[in-house]
Amino acid sequence: MHGRRRQQEREPTQDELQQAKQRVDRYRALNTHVMDLKATSVFTNDALDATKRLLEQNTELHTVWNYRRTIFTSLDEWQCQDTRQEMLDGELKFLLGIITKNIKSYWMWNHRMWALSSLPRPEWQRELGLVAKLLALDARNYHGWDYRRFVVAQLKDAATDKHEVDTQEFAFTTEQINHDCANHSAWHNRSKLLPEILAQRDEDGQLEVLQTENDLILNAIYTDPDDQNAWLYYDWLLDIQKSDEDRSRLLRNKIAAIRELLELEEDSKRPLVELVSAYAELERLQSGSVSEPEKKECLETLRRLESIDPYRVGRYTDMSRTLSKQWALGA
């Protein structure tokens, strides 16, 4: 996991090596048995039990997950709605037991989607609460976030007030970002929801939402100026503006915030780079909107970056030449 120091590993004893070999032998035998069952099209409860025992040891066997689904749908019991509900409720409990062993398994999350979608009476609200608990274990896990979007989509389809579902999910992303502003998955999920939130409001309401977004971004930037997530979200927010005038206004807000930040963190690399980029984009959108002193400030900032970040001197020198030529200034 991120931020954890690797522990020094000791040499295993002969007994431990022998036990490991026995486990590998048992696993190989079970894997061969399951593959033989699949090859001979055995779709029984015994085959279902064998796949379960194998997947408990290795969740990455997508062929076995596929085989397991085929077994379920081939059983006579599958045709009875109440029995199918009972079978899949048990399957969800089985999945919950192994999720914590490998929370990043594509195939396991895919199988859970199938199980929920196949339930005669799925409880999507309960599933949403479960996903929240799983994300508490690993808040940046994009598999969990992708699955959460799937669950929310099902809730939204069934809801009478679809806007309320979006609003609640938007509030969840706010909570997650305030807890950890480096949570890229939360920022990404927010970007999926914001257009829906804006569509629900009039012009004044949209401006209020955008100001809230601006404040959230600034809080994240002040917390960790060099983390890329808030900066990327800022760029995305610029892209969805309706007009160049709106983009220019947001860029001016960004420039003002960066200048204020640099009073506290004068040698922070990412804000300095973003300052130059903001001025360059502002001038591109509205020629003449960047003053001569501001253009000179950009070139001076690039010279500072050359000393702060010597590994990227070539990049900053090239940027300086390009802007000097565009703005007809001496580098």
CA dihedral in degrees (56, 116, 150, 1; nearest 10)?
-20
Q: Are 161 and 205 in contact (CB under 8 A)?
A: no
pLDDT band for position 1 (cuts 50, 70, 90): very low
Helices 184-199 and 142-158: angle between axes, nearest 10 degrees: 20
- Quick one: three-class SS letters along 25-44? HHHHHHHHHHHHHHHCCCCC
The pLDDT tens digits for 49-70 are 999 999 999 999 999 999 999 9
> Of 188, 149, 183, nearest to 2 (Cα)?
183
Query: What pLDDT score was predicted for residue 33?
Result: 96
- Rounded Cα distance between 23 and 5, Å, is 28
For the stretch 239-289, pLDDT in tens is 998 899 999 999 999 999 999 999 988 889 999 999 999 999 999 998 899
The 10s digit of each residue's pLDDT in 103-157 is 888 999 999 999 999 999 999 999 999 999 888 888 888 889 999 999 999 999 9
Task: Kindly state the percentage of the chain with pLDDT values over 90.
Answer: 74
Instruction: Give this prediction's pTM.
Output: 0.83
The tokens for 272 are 């300095």
- Residues 189-199 as b or e (16 or more Cβ within 10 Å = b): bbbebbebbbe
192: left (phi over 0), alpha (psi -120 to 50) or beta: alpha
Could you say which DSSP state residue 158 is in?
H
* Mean pLDDT across 290-308: 93
Cα separation, 151 vs 128, in Å, equals 6
Residue-level length of the chain: 331
Q: What is the mean pLDDT of residues 288-305?
A: 92
- pLDDT for the residue 30: 96
The first and second tokens of residue 292, run together, are 């001569």
**pLDDT value at 29 more than 90:** yes
